[in-house]
A and B are shown apart, each in its own frame.
Chain A
Amino acid sequence: DIVMTQSPDSLAVSLGERATINCKSSQSVLYSSNNENHLAWYQQKPGQPPKLLIYWAATRESGVPDRFSGSGSGTDFTLTISSLQAEDVAVYYCQQYYTTPPTFGGGTKVEIK
C-alpha cells in the first residue's frame, strides 16, 4: 500500500496569512500514461463529509476559491492557502488514487492564530 504522510499535524495561522500543508507519498503517484499525479486534497469541517478541493495534484474543483492551490509531483506535494479566511478552519487530507487501495494522509488541522 502507498503510505501518505502529512505534515504538520496541525498549524495555527493568522487571518490573511499563508498556510502550507505538505504531503509525501511512499512511492510516486505520477502516472506515466497520462503524465498526471493521482493526488487529491480534501477539506473536512466538523460534522461534514470531506469536500474535494484539488485533484490531479493541482486542478481546483469547480467552485473552490482560488486562494487554494496545489503543487508538487512524484512523491512530494503541497496544499497552500494563500490568505487564510475564518471559514478555512478545518482538517485537510491528501489522498492518492494512483493504485488500489486508495489511501489518505493522516490529516492536518488548520486553526486561526
Chain B
Amino acid sequence: QLQLQESGSGLVKPSQTLSLTCAVSGGSISSGAYSWSWIRQPPGKGLEWIGYVYHSGATYYNTSLESRATISIDTSKNQFSLRLSSVTAADTAVYYCARGGLTAYEYWGQGTLVTVSS
C-alpha cells in the first residue's frame, strides 16, 4: 500500500520560503507514468492544486502562484519537495502531497499545517 508523508517547516515568516518534503513508501516514485502533486487547503476553505512533477523531473504549476512555487523530485530518496517563496498570510494552509495530476488522486498524505506569521 502506497503511503505518503509530508514534513517540513510548520511556521514560516512573511516574505520567507516555505519548504516541504513528501516521502513516499510502499512503492517507487519512479514507477509508472504517475505525477506527484502538491495541493493546499486554507483553513475552512476548499482545495487548490499547486503543481506536480513527473519522475522525469518535468513540472507543471498553477499559474496563480506567479512562479513562486518550485517542485523537485529525488528518485534516489523516493521523495519530492515543494518550495514556495515570498510567502504571505494567504499561504497559510494545510499542504497535502498526493499521487495524481492528470489522473484521480488515489493516494494522499495526511497533510501538514503551515502557518505564515511573524
Contact = CB atoms under 8 A, between A and B. Distances in A.
Contacts of A74: none
A72 interface: no
Interface in A38-71: 38, 40, 42, 48-52, 55-56, 61
Contact of A50 (B49, B101, B105): B105
Contacts of B96: 49-50
B49 A55 contact: no
A13 to B, nearest CB: 21
Contact of B100 (A61, A97, A104): A97
A111 to B, nearest CB: 16
Nearest to A97: B102
Given A49-B96, A50-B47, A104-B46, A97 B106 contact: no
Interface in A70-96: 93, 95
B105 A95 contact: yes
Interface residues on A, range: 20 to 34
Interface string B101-113: 1111110111100
B28 interface: no
Question: Interface of chain B, helix or strand or loop or mixed?
Answer: loop
A93 B104 contact: no
Nearest to A56: B104
Given A49-B96, A93-B46, A93-B47, A102 B101 contact: yes
A97 B110 contact: no
B64 to A, nearest CB: 9
A101 B98 CA distance: 15
Interface of A: 38, 40, 42, 48-52, 55-56, 61, 93, 95, 97-107
10 contacts: A40-B104, A49-B109, A50-B47, A55-B106, A97-B103, A102-B49, A102-B101, A103-B49, A106-B46, A107-B47
